[in-house]
Amino acid sequence: MSSSSASSERKPLIMSSAHQASYTVPEAEKALAPTTPPTMSAQGEVEEVPGTSRATMSKKTIWQGVLTAILMGFGFGYVFEKSRVFEPVNIRRQFLFERWLMLKMFLAAMAASASMLLLAYKFHKSTFDHIRDMFHGCYQRGIITAVALGGFMLGAGMAIGGACPGMVAAQLGAGVPTAYATFIGAFAGALAYGFLEPVMTKWIDIGPKFKAFHLDEVSPIPYWVLAVGQVAMSVAVIIVLEVLEPWEDETGFPNEKKCYVFACKSWPPWASGIIVGLLQGPAIHVIRDTLGSSTAYGAVCSLTTHALPDEHREKHFSRFASMRIGWGNWWQVIYLAAAIIGALVSAVSSGVLGDVHGIHPAAGFIGGFLMLFGSRLAGGCTSGHGISGFTLGNLASFVAVPFMFAGGIAAAFIFQAADPQYPL
């Protein structure tokens, strides 16, 4: 499951003239200056960015964000390893409807995320509106040619590679032997998309686009009802799945009786999912972003354009140019690095480091490539669209998530028909 994220595809919002006439930027939103990257003087002092104040760009603010990203990433990796969802076979079997660990964790994370966002909606409306607006870049893309197709590719990559963009970090930390192939494939996908996007722009823009941004804008359902409904639906489905298929019967790493909680090999996937979803709280209030992972790959790959002249980079590789600097692009790199450490600590604490079987390296590479290429195309990954965008009521995520599952299911059954050993 992974933390882009959809919010990684943030571009200046292009509105219709009618919408522009009626839209005003809230004063509280203007104050959210930490999303603008600071610059450093030769002496290491944070310099003011035009339109911001020195107070909002203090070193304290930056280091709070760094520390928060580290703690969030460590927690993400730790609970993901405990959930056993990161195991490639469990992801593949989810798309074959043979195991339900992934769905239980995903729905629990959605429910907790919706709860965090509902609290922000109720008590920090300016922050909530700011977070919602950060997804508007997704709406400039074609619904079918970008959001739906990208989501489908993401899901297919998950079924082939047995991972998602954020989950690869947990696999690396837990010692999955073929995680390196998925990791390399993910970077290859992000790199390919960054260099091909200028060529693909006309294709991406083909077809219908979103005329509204959020579900509560096109229906009489207010956001708070949508959020409460998502929580209720998620809890109900998890309960039904647990009754039909208890999580203890699905994990390949049963716990010893009365094991110490941090030494247990497995945790209920829904418990791990709740913790992941609760990370949305510090994400939106400290980092001023939402959970996601795919931006990290794009940010690192953007460094490949470092040697190019600025004018050439801006003209021909605008996506990479926009991702080379800025806290909004790089906090996820810190987050995923900490997730690797968190998963490592979790696996060591329960004595299962390196005990998970991998998949064929070629499948890992292809799956990783499709996951990241699809995430970049759709404007978000499993975490970005699924845990964050969906619970924000973003219409783009209501398209991307179903197509993600459709792509995963289709790829899984095709793979199984071609290879009798699949999903192993």
d(CA 406, CA 126): 35
| pLDDT reported for residue 348 | 98
> How many C-beta atoms surround the C-beta of residue 290 within 10 A?
30
Fill in the amino acid letter for 200.
M
Is the peptide bond preceding residue 423 cis, with omega within 30 degrees of 0? yes
Q: What is the pLDDT of residue 99?
A: 97
Q: Is the entire prediction scored with pTM above 0.75?
A: yes
SS in 3 state form for 333-347? Answer: HHHHHHHHHHHHHHH
Q: 3-state DSSP: the chain helix, strand, coil percent, rounded to 5?
A: 65, 0, 30
Q: How far is CA 297 from the centre of its chain?
A: 11
Give me the tens of pLDDT residue by residue for the chain, a chain 424 residues long.
554 444 444 443 434 333 333 334 333 333 333 343 333 333 333 333 333 333 344 677 889 999 999 999 999 999 999 999 999 999 999 999 999 999 999 999 999 999 999 999 999 999 999 999 887 767 778 999 999 999 999 999 999 999 999 999 999 999 999 999 999 999 999 999 999 988 888 888 888 999 999 999 999 999 999 999 999 999 999 999 999 999 999 999 999 888 999 999 999 999 999 999 999 999 999 999 999 999 999 999 999 998 888 888 887 787 788 888 888 889 999 999 999 999 999 999 999 999 999 999 999 999 999 999 999 999 999 999 999 999 999 999 999 999 999 999 999 999 999 999 999 8
Strands (E), 36-120: 39-40, 46-47
Across 16-150, the runs of DSSP E, i.e. the strands, are: 39-40, 46-47
Q: What is the pLDDT of residue 16?
A: 38
Distance CA 332, CA 330 (A): 5
Q: Which position has the token pair 């009802």?
A: 225
- Which H helix or E strand runs over 51? none
| Pair 75, 225: CB distance under 8 Å | no
Find the distance separating the first CA and the last CA of the chain, reported in whole Å.
20
| Structure tokens given for 209 | 């686009």
- State the Cα–Cα distance between residues 203 and 141, nearest whole angstrom: 9
- 3-state DSSP call for residue 47? strand
Indicate the Cα dihedral angle 181, 187, 188, 194, nearest 10°.
170
User: How many residues are recorded in the chain?
Assistant: 424
Distance in angstroms (rounded) separating the CA atoms of residues 263 and 306: 44
